[in-house]
Amino acid sequence: MAANPPTASAKAGLRRELLAARRALSPENCRAAAAALAVRAMELPELTGARTVAAYVSIGTEPGTRDLLDALRATGKQVLLPLLLPDNDLDWAAYEGPDGLAEAAHPGKMRLLEPTGPALGPDAVTGADAVLLPGLAVDGRGMRLGRGGGSYDRVLERLERAGAHPALVVLLYDDEVVARVPEEPHDHPVQAVATPSGVRRFSS
């Protein structure tokens, strides 16, 4: 579906602003935020009650997920991590701990840490009880602003086609919970946001 030009422009401007703020974060601030985020996220019933969680490995100055991945696994949950496919779609494999991650080179794209275990197929995400989504912002309605690559739009479409309804949770820094996120018809609201200072759940 073609983007509405004013909406697409508004999204692009907000993305630039938020990415610039992330680039300005120090390594120390990122580490402290990641530790706090893991504690806060584990307070969400959407995660504590889940048996299988589809997550991701943070990169750069994204809100850090490594502590959270280990916390989820330590409580006996199956954690699925994405494998980026050539067309930007996502396959999935189980997270078996830090030693089960390896850097994957994707031509023309960022270098990502991906699980080294067997690929389970793109549809594996439909069996998750909760899906952790990367993002740049969320507003009071639960509308999420992604990075614009489209990978997670495909994941959300796949969940919808399968009739799957996992809890959708976005992980952000505190100041990325904003008044309003520009939205397009294909955008999906999330059920909750976790930040280093706390969690917020949105009504369905």
| Backbone φ/ψ region at 76: left (φ over 0), alpha (ψ -120 to 50), beta | left
Q: Does the structure show a pLDDT above 90 at 199?
A: yes
- Listed range (8-12, 14-18, 135-139, 183-187) with the worst mean pLDDT: 183-187
Look over the chain and give the mean of its residue pLDDT values, rounded to a whole number: 92
- Listed range (29-33, 35-39, 123-127, 146-150) with the worst mean pLDDT: 146-150
Distance, CA of 61 to CA of 22 (rounded, Å): 6
Calculate the alpha carbon distances from 78 to 12, 89, 121, 139, 140 in Å: 35, 21, 16, 29, 30
CATH classification of the domain holding 117: 3.40.50.10420
The string of pLDDT tens digits covering residues 139-173 is 999 999 998 888 999 999 999 999 999 999 999 99
Q: What pLDDT was estimated at residue 52?
A: 98
| pLDDT-based confidence at residue 110 (cuts at 50, 70, 90) | low
* Domain that residue 49 falls in: 5-201
The label of the residue with tokens 């799957």 reads 164
Share of residues in the chain with pLDDT > 70 (%)? 95
Residues whose CB falls within 8 Å of the CB of residue 130, separated by 6 or more in sequence, listed in order: 46, 47, 50, 52, 53, 54, 166, 167, 168, 169
Q: What are the φ/ψ torsions at residue 128 (nearest 5 degrees)? A: -80, 145
Domain count, the chain: 1
The string of pLDDT tens digits covering residues 53-95 is 999 999 999 999 999 999 999 999 999 999 999 999 999 999 9
